[in-house]
Amino acid sequence: MKKTILFILSIGLITSCSDSYFDLKPQGRASIQQLSNKNGVSALLIGTYSLLDGVGAGNTGRQSTISNYVFGGITSDDAVKGTDAGDQPEQSFIEQYNWLSDNTYFLGKWWHSYDGVGRANEVIQIVASPDVKDMTEAEKAQVIAEARFLRGHYHFEAKKMWNMVPYIDEKIYNRDDPGSTKIPNNEDIWPKIEADFQFAANTLPAVQTQKGRATKWAAMTYLAKAKIFQNKWAEAKALLEDVYKNSGKKLAPNYHDNYRNITNNNSESIFEVQFSVNDGTNGNNGNAGDNLNWPYSATAPGRGCCGFYQPSHNLVNAFKTTDGLPQIGNAADGSQDTYNNIDLPNDQGITAANPFTLDKTIPVDPRLDWTVGRRAVNFLDWGPMPGSTWIRDQGYAGPFTGKKWMYYVADENSSTHSTSRRNVNNNYRLLKLSHVILWLAECEVELGNLDAAQTYVNMIRNRAKTGSVQDPSVTYKVEPYPAGTFTQKGVNFARNATRMEERLEFAMEGHRFFDLVRWGIAEKVLNKYALEESKDGKEPSNRTFKKRAYMAGKVFTAKNNYFPIPQDEILNSQKDGKPVLVQNQGY
């Protein structure tokens, strides 16, 4: 009887309603028609910018955070995973060069990169439509330029991760056809990335009224970075000189001005990823992708959790100086460097309850203590870093903690989200004038102009010398290279000195691994690092201590210059039963 009633009701609905009755619009989702106006286009563009921080692409956020701490940091000699052995084992695999294509970190990064590409393409498609009638052609052109800048960025992220990746533009992308983006990864996409940045540089204004929007100078700098990655030294130099001479940017007086929320968007900044807190959202706008990378104590910045992304002994030792200069040798790959032969004193193996006096007489570059938290040295305005109480598992991960994304205790609450003090408004400086200056130094080295390269490197060293220091009780000593040093010691020393300067200046900012790869020295540097970091350390006092024993026997091979393409994406790329994407060699 019930079946009969249901059947009659169904027949009645079918015969008494028109077809439009069943044409239901998606709920909670804007239609193309609703977005085809100035406000709609603006919302879509903001949505494309919003992915810059790495949060919002359907993954954990840490898999695609703008800092790239997993892929550019713990894969390098700058940092270890941190925390303890059992937490986030997928990060452990990545740190130890055991890279498998089913690691969800690689999948999350892929999702993010191509979600950003898709959003940029939708902006371009809609703003170019004749249905958008309330915008001038000039306004439309600027929106397209900003979207192409962002599309260039997201493709750049994919390119440096996997090398051979598909390039998807607004002509290929079709939101109504999931198969439209199934295209092969069989061409070098650098020319198309360059074209996006070139269009943006030609179209965007030199200054934007809203902070965080791409400008002509940001696009030109990013274009130069793309050329640097391809060793196009002369072309990169011309672009970088234009930015250096004409952008109006200048080095901030203090190195630490690039790592404080109160100096966001300063004179040195060319493009920053904007973070905000207490803005009516759940806190994800406040650098949520890095919210594991805090000291493991309720008395520390972040107020507890989770102890990830800790500086390596190798990085800390790199800041030692002799006569104010780095302890480096003449080999371009750093194989003759001596800074890691003896370790800086530290509290590895000494609990916070036991007495500890740090030898502060050993000269170090002042940038060390703006980058790394180490016991008995001032930690911003929190007082001296107390040691192992701030570290989740010192025996496993070492005694140091990162510092550049931390906040001052005086800024707590105004700088931190109300529901999590690990979500902060300290922007990530993606492109700075200091990048421009040191890339110019690289260009000059490769073009044979060693004196000019030294001049650029010394600009950065002089800022470190004259700027503020973290702890006056530490012996800080940094000096510019004496006149003629690069020319006298030769091109390989000049290369090594410039590369070391980039390491010191941008340590713990997620660039190091990608730099080692583009310099062609990753295999040699990282195998040396794994061997040395796994052995016992030794201080000038002859005290010995355990380092990262788990790195023993870990080997970096040529295939590790690029990560494996996620297996899920290869499977999803199938057309006619065959995958379109091809896996990187060796995986």
Digit-coded pLDDT (tens) for 28-70: 567 888 999 999 999 999 999 999 999 999 999 999 999 999 9
All CATH 1.25.40.390 domain ranges in the chain, comma separated: 33-204+557-587, 294-300+308-404+427-548
Q: pTM to 2 decimals?
A: 0.94
464, 571, 564, 557: which is closest to 517 by C-alpha? 557
| CATH number belonging to the domain at 33-204+557-587, selected among 1.10.1030.10, 3.40.50.2300, 3.40.50.720, 1.25.40.390 | 1.25.40.390
Distance of alpha carbon 534 from alpha carbon 145, whole angstroms: 48
Tokens of 56: 């919002």
**350 within 8 A of 406, measured Cβ to Cβ:** no
The confidence score (pLDDT) of residue 31 equals 85
Distance of alpha carbon 456 from alpha carbon 447, whole angstroms: 14
Place of tokens 């939101």: 175
The confidence score (pLDDT) of residue 556 equals 98
Architecture of the CATH domain 294-300+308-404+427-548: Alpha Horseshoe (1.25)
The confidence score (pLDDT) of residue 27 equals 57
The confidence score (pLDDT) of residue 19 equals 47
Name the region of 96 (left: φ>0; alpha: ψ -120 to 50; beta: rest). alpha
Distance of alpha carbon 508 from alpha carbon 502, whole angstroms: 11
User: Which parts of the chain sit beneath pLDDT 50?
Assistant: 1-24
The confidence score (pLDDT) of residue 32 equals 87
Tokens of 152: 């260039």
225, 210, 73: which is closest to 149 by C-alpha? 225
